[in-house]
Amino acid sequence: MRKYAIRLLPLMAGAVCLLLAAEVRTDYNHAADFAQFRTYSWIQVEASPLWQDRIMQAVDGQLASKGWTKVPSGGDAAVSAFGSHKEKKTLETFYTGVGGRWFWRGWGPGLATTTIEKTPIGTVVVDIFDSHTERLVWRGIASDSLSEKPEKNEKKLEKNIAKMFEHFPPPPRV
């Protein structure tokens, strides 16, 4: 039994990493012509004061790498972002007893102890609107677990925004 448990450890560690990995999703208006957008302006960034500039800089860098130019107002596209955080609660149950096996229904000695783990999760939503029609044309959402170290969170933000804009702009409509 022990040899099977040793073989399962790498798989379980990989599963935990997948659960803690960032989740990035994008969607867009398939009727929108992204070729018409060359400039953009910020209309709003709603996040904690320290994160507003960080979000803007990360998005600015990605849009600049795609050939878009930031203008103070009146851009072809309007960009807004929203950042928030929440705590994700997970239950961790540990079993004790002979051989470390799980026991239930009275099959053997042992105790089960369940604790609640709270993991802070940060989410950033970036919206791009057509300035002329004021309609949403693209949305990106990134969620990731947060660290207690701000430097790590900044790197995660940059990495997740880069992943968000990886396939931006969407392919031209046919």
Q: What is the pLDDT of residue 75?
A: 97
Which secondary-structure segment (H or E) carries 153?
A: helix 150-164
The DSSP output letter for 172 is P
Q: What is the pLDDT of residue 146?
A: 76
Residues 127 and 82: their CA atoms lie apart, in Å, by: 9
- Distance in angstroms (rounded) separating the CA atoms of residues 22 and 68: 26
Distance CA 95, CA 142 (A): 35
Helix 150-164 vs helix 49-65: angle between axes, to the nearest 10 degrees? 40
Q: Answer yes or no: is 37 within a domain.
A: yes
Residues in the chain, how many? Answer: 174
| Residue (of 25, 23, 35) closest to 170 by Cα position | 35
CATH of the domain at 96: 3.30.160.670
174 domain-assigned: no
Whether 158 is covered by a domain: the verdict is: yes
Q: Does some domain include residue 5? A: no
Does residue 92 lie within any of the structural domains? yes
What pTM does this model have? 0.71
The parent domain of residue 63 ranges over 22-164
- Please tell me the total count of domains within the chain: 1
Q: What are the average pLDDT values for consecutive 10-residue runs of the chain, which has 174 residues? A: 42 39 90 95 92 95 97 96 74 59 54 67 90 96 84 92 95 74
